[in-house]
Protein backbone atom coordinates (compact mmCIF):
# COMPACT_ATOMS: atom_id res chain seq x y z
CA UNK A 1 0.00 0.00 0.00
CA UNK A 2 1.09 3.58 -0.51
CA UNK A 3 1.60 5.61 2.65
CA UNK A 4 -0.76 8.23 1.23
CA UNK A 5 -3.49 5.57 1.01
CA UNK A 6 -2.88 4.49 4.61
CA UNK A 7 -3.02 8.12 5.75
CA UNK A 8 -6.37 8.60 3.98
CA UNK A 9 -7.84 5.47 5.56
CA UNK A 10 -6.84 6.60 9.06
CA UNK A 11 -8.39 10.04 8.52
CA UNK A 12 -11.59 8.45 7.20
CA UNK A 13 -11.73 6.10 10.18
CA UNK A 14 -11.21 8.96 12.61
CA UNK A 15 -14.12 10.78 10.99
CA UNK A 16 -16.34 7.70 11.07
CA UNK A 17 -15.59 7.13 14.76
CA UNK A 18 -16.49 10.75 15.50
CA UNK A 19 -19.71 10.41 13.49
CA UNK A 20 -20.83 7.51 15.68
CA UNK A 21 -19.46 9.13 18.85
CA UNK A 22 -16.81 6.49 19.49
CA UNK A 23 -14.04 8.31 21.34
CA UNK A 24 -10.51 6.98 20.76
CA UNK A 25 -7.76 7.07 23.43
CA UNK A 26 -5.21 9.91 23.45
CA UNK A 27 -2.43 7.94 21.75
CA UNK A 28 -4.66 7.47 18.69
CA UNK A 29 -3.89 11.05 17.66
CA UNK A 30 -0.13 10.99 18.31
CA UNK A 31 2.23 12.19 15.62
CA UNK A 32 5.39 10.21 14.78
CA UNK A 33 7.36 12.79 16.79
CA UNK A 34 5.28 11.95 19.88
CA UNK A 35 6.27 8.30 19.54
CA UNK A 36 9.91 9.25 19.16
CA UNK A 37 9.73 10.96 22.56
CA UNK A 38 7.59 8.33 24.34
CA UNK A 39 9.35 6.52 27.17
CA UNK A 40 9.11 2.90 28.38
CA UNK A 41 5.95 3.74 30.34
CA UNK A 42 4.17 3.27 26.98
CA UNK A 43 5.60 -0.21 26.34
CA UNK A 44 2.22 -1.89 26.78
CA UNK A 45 1.13 -0.14 23.59
CA UNK A 46 4.29 -1.18 21.75
CA UNK A 47 4.48 -4.77 23.00
CA UNK A 48 0.81 -5.60 22.45
CA UNK A 49 0.40 -3.82 19.09
CA UNK A 50 -2.21 -1.34 20.24
CA UNK A 51 -3.13 1.39 17.80
CA UNK A 52 -3.59 1.75 14.05
CA UNK A 53 -3.49 -1.26 11.74
CA UNK A 54 -4.33 -0.73 8.07
CA UNK A 55 -3.88 -3.72 5.77
CA UNK A 56 -4.46 -4.98 2.26
CA UNK A 57 -3.14 -8.43 3.28
CA UNK A 58 -0.25 -7.92 0.88
CA UNK A 59 -2.59 -8.25 -2.11
CA UNK A 60 -2.30 -4.68 -3.38
CA UNK A 61 -6.08 -4.36 -3.84
CA UNK A 62 -7.16 -2.45 -0.74
CA UNK A 63 -10.34 -1.07 -2.30
CA UNK A 64 -11.49 -4.67 -2.77
CA UNK A 65 -9.81 -6.59 0.08
CA UNK A 66 -8.65 -4.97 3.30
CA UNK A 67 -9.70 -3.11 6.41
CA UNK A 68 -8.83 -0.31 8.79
CA UNK A 69 -8.45 -1.31 12.42
CA UNK A 70 -7.58 0.28 15.75
CA UNK A 71 -6.72 -1.89 18.77
CA UNK A 72 -7.73 -0.16 22.00
CA UNK A 73 -6.60 -2.81 24.49
CA UNK A 74 -4.95 -6.21 24.36
CA UNK A 75 -3.24 -8.74 26.59
CA UNK A 76 -0.22 -10.86 25.67
CA UNK A 77 -0.04 -14.61 26.18
CA UNK A 78 3.71 -14.55 25.53
CA UNK A 79 4.64 -11.94 28.15
CA UNK A 80 3.62 -12.57 31.78
CA UNK A 81 4.04 -8.86 32.46
CA UNK A 82 0.63 -8.24 30.86
CA UNK A 83 -2.29 -9.76 32.77
CA UNK A 84 -5.20 -8.83 30.51
CA UNK A 85 -7.03 -11.82 29.08
CA UNK A 86 -9.09 -9.75 26.67
CA UNK A 87 -8.86 -7.35 23.74
CA UNK A 88 -10.99 -4.66 22.10
CA UNK A 89 -10.83 -3.18 18.61
CA UNK A 90 -12.79 -1.10 16.19
CA UNK A 91 -12.71 -1.81 12.46
CA UNK A 92 -13.78 0.04 9.34
CA UNK A 93 -14.60 -1.36 5.92
CA UNK A 94 -15.54 0.79 2.94
CA UNK A 95 -18.56 0.07 0.73
CA UNK A 96 -17.77 -2.81 -1.63
CA UNK A 97 -14.82 -3.96 0.48
CA UNK A 98 -14.26 -7.43 1.93
CA UNK A 99 -11.90 -9.07 4.41
CA UNK A 100 -10.75 -12.62 3.61
CA UNK A 101 -12.05 -15.89 5.01
CA UNK A 102 -10.15 -16.98 8.12
CA UNK A 103 -10.47 -18.50 11.57
CA UNK A 104 -8.60 -18.21 14.86
CA UNK A 105 -7.01 -21.22 16.51
CA UNK A 106 -7.65 -19.92 20.05
CA UNK A 107 -9.44 -16.58 20.09
CA UNK A 108 -13.17 -16.24 20.71
CA UNK A 109 -14.60 -12.88 19.71
CA UNK A 110 -17.80 -10.93 19.33
CA UNK A 111 -18.15 -8.77 16.21
CA UNK A 112 -20.56 -5.86 16.73
CA UNK A 113 -21.92 -3.51 14.11
CA UNK A 114 -21.36 -0.11 15.78
CA UNK A 115 -22.85 1.99 13.00
CA UNK A 116 -23.10 2.79 9.31
CA UNK A 117 -23.69 0.14 6.66
CA UNK A 118 -24.75 -3.46 7.15
CA UNK A 119 -22.06 -6.15 7.07
CA UNK A 120 -22.41 -9.80 6.03
CA UNK A 121 -20.27 -12.54 7.55
CA UNK A 122 -19.93 -15.90 5.77
CA UNK A 123 -19.62 -18.83 8.19
CA UNK A 124 -18.10 -22.30 7.83
CA UNK A 125 -16.82 -24.77 10.39
CA UNK A 126 -13.09 -25.41 10.18
CA UNK A 127 -11.08 -28.51 11.05
CA UNK A 128 -7.83 -28.76 13.02
CA UNK A 129 -5.86 -29.12 9.77
CA UNK A 130 -7.47 -25.94 8.38
CA UNK A 131 -9.94 -27.72 6.12
CA UNK A 132 -13.17 -25.84 5.46
CA UNK A 133 -16.08 -28.15 6.29
CA UNK A 134 -19.52 -28.40 4.69
CA UNK A 135 -21.29 -29.19 7.97
CA UNK A 136 -24.06 -27.07 9.47
CA UNK A 137 -22.83 -24.17 11.60
CA UNK A 138 -24.11 -23.16 15.03
CA UNK A 139 -24.13 -19.36 15.31
CA UNK A 140 -25.00 -17.10 18.24
CA UNK A 141 -26.49 -13.70 17.49
CA UNK A 142 -27.14 -11.39 20.45
CA UNK A 143 -28.13 -14.25 22.73
CA UNK A 144 -30.01 -16.23 20.07
CA UNK A 145 -28.54 -19.58 18.98
CA UNK A 146 -29.44 -21.08 15.62
CA UNK A 147 -28.08 -23.60 13.13
CA UNK A 148 -27.43 -22.56 9.52
CA UNK A 149 -26.00 -24.32 6.46
CA UNK A 150 -22.30 -24.00 5.70
CA UNK A 151 -21.62 -20.88 3.65
CA UNK A 152 -24.53 -18.88 5.06
CA UNK A 153 -24.01 -15.14 5.03
CA UNK A 154 -25.14 -13.72 8.37
CA UNK A 155 -26.13 -10.06 8.01
CA UNK A 156 -25.54 -7.64 10.88
CA UNK A 157 -27.33 -4.30 10.97
CA UNK A 158 -26.16 -1.52 13.33
CA UNK A 159 -26.40 -2.72 16.94
CA UNK A 160 -26.35 -6.42 16.06
CA UNK A 161 -23.51 -8.85 16.84
CA UNK A 162 -22.26 -12.38 16.28
CA UNK A 163 -20.04 -14.60 18.42
CA UNK A 164 -17.12 -16.17 16.54
CA UNK A 165 -15.74 -19.32 18.18
CA UNK A 166 -12.28 -20.78 17.47
CA UNK A 167 -12.18 -22.75 14.20
CA UNK A 168 -15.20 -20.85 12.83
CA UNK A 169 -14.27 -19.56 9.39
CA UNK A 170 -15.60 -16.06 8.78
CA UNK A 171 -15.14 -13.11 6.47
CA UNK A 172 -16.55 -9.59 6.16
CA UNK A 173 -18.54 -8.31 3.16
CA UNK A 174 -19.88 -4.76 2.86
CA UNK A 175 -22.37 -3.88 0.10
CA UNK A 176 -21.29 -1.45 -2.60
CA UNK A 177 -24.03 0.99 -1.63
CA UNK A 178 -24.66 2.56 1.77
CA UNK A 179 -21.33 3.91 2.97
CA UNK A 180 -18.66 2.54 5.30
CA UNK A 181 -19.33 0.39 8.36
CA UNK A 182 -17.83 0.78 11.84
CA UNK A 183 -17.43 -2.56 13.61
CA UNK A 184 -16.45 -3.37 17.16
CA UNK A 185 -14.56 -6.46 18.31
CA UNK A 186 -14.53 -7.71 21.90
CA UNK A 187 -12.40 -10.82 22.31
CA UNK A 188 -9.83 -12.88 24.09
CA UNK A 189 -6.23 -11.72 23.61
CA UNK A 190 -5.30 -11.02 20.01
CA UNK A 191 -2.17 -12.65 18.56
CA UNK A 192 -1.82 -11.86 14.85
CA UNK A 193 1.54 -13.64 14.63
CA UNK A 194 0.25 -17.07 15.66
CA UNK A 195 -3.56 -17.26 15.85
CA UNK A 196 -4.81 -16.54 12.31
CA UNK A 197 -5.59 -19.27 9.80
CA UNK A 198 -6.48 -17.81 6.41
CA UNK A 199 -8.31 -20.11 4.00
CA UNK A 200 -6.22 -18.78 1.10
CA UNK A 201 -2.55 -18.22 2.03
CA UNK A 202 -2.01 -14.46 2.30
CA UNK A 203 -0.08 -11.98 4.40
CA UNK A 204 -1.35 -10.06 7.39
CA UNK A 205 0.47 -6.71 7.23
CA UNK A 206 1.08 -4.59 4.12
CA UNK A 207 4.22 -3.71 2.24
CA UNK A 208 4.37 0.10 2.36
CA UNK A 209 5.48 2.44 -0.42
CA UNK A 210 6.63 5.68 1.21
CA UNK A 211 5.19 8.31 -1.11
CA UNK A 212 4.51 10.81 1.72
CA UNK A 213 5.20 11.21 5.43
CA UNK A 214 3.18 9.11 7.91
CA UNK A 215 0.14 10.83 9.42
CA UNK A 216 0.01 8.26 12.24
CA UNK A 217 2.39 5.36 12.90
CA UNK A 218 0.99 1.87 12.52
CA UNK A 219 1.16 -0.57 15.42
CA UNK A 220 4.11 -2.35 13.77
CA UNK A 221 6.15 0.87 13.39
CA UNK A 222 6.71 2.25 16.89
CA UNK A 223 10.32 3.14 17.70
CA UNK A 224 11.96 1.55 20.73
CA UNK A 225 11.50 3.62 23.87
CA UNK A 226 14.25 5.98 24.86
CA UNK A 227 15.26 5.33 28.46
Q: pLDDT 10s per residue in the chain (227 long)?
A: 999 999 999 999 999 999 999 999 999 999 999 999 999 999 999 999 999 999 999 999 999 999 999 999 999 999 989 999 999 999 999 999 999 999 999 999 999 999 999 999 999 999 999 999 999 999 999 999 999 999 999 999 999 999 999 999 999 999 999 999 999 999 999 999 999 999 998 988 888 999 999 999 999 999 999 87
Say which DSSP state 13 is in: H
Class of domain 3-198: mainly beta
CB atoms within 10 A of CB 209: 13
For the chain, what are the domain ranges? 3-198
Predicted local confidence at residue 203, as pLDDT: 82
CA angle 127, 102, 58 (to 5 degrees): 140
| Rama region for 83: left / alpha / beta (φ>0; ψ in -120 to 50; rest) | alpha
Supply the pTM of this predicted model. 0.95
Distance, CA of 161 to CA of 170 (rounded, Å): 13
- How many Cα atoms within 13 Å fall on the side-chain side of residue 59? 18
Amino acid sequence: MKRSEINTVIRDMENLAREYRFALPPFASWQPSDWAAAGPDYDEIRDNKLGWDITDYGLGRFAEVGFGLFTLRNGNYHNPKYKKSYAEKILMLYPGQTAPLHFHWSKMEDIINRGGNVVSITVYNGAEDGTRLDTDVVVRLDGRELTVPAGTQVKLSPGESITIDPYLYHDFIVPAEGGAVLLGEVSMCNDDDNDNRFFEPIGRFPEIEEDEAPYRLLCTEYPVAKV
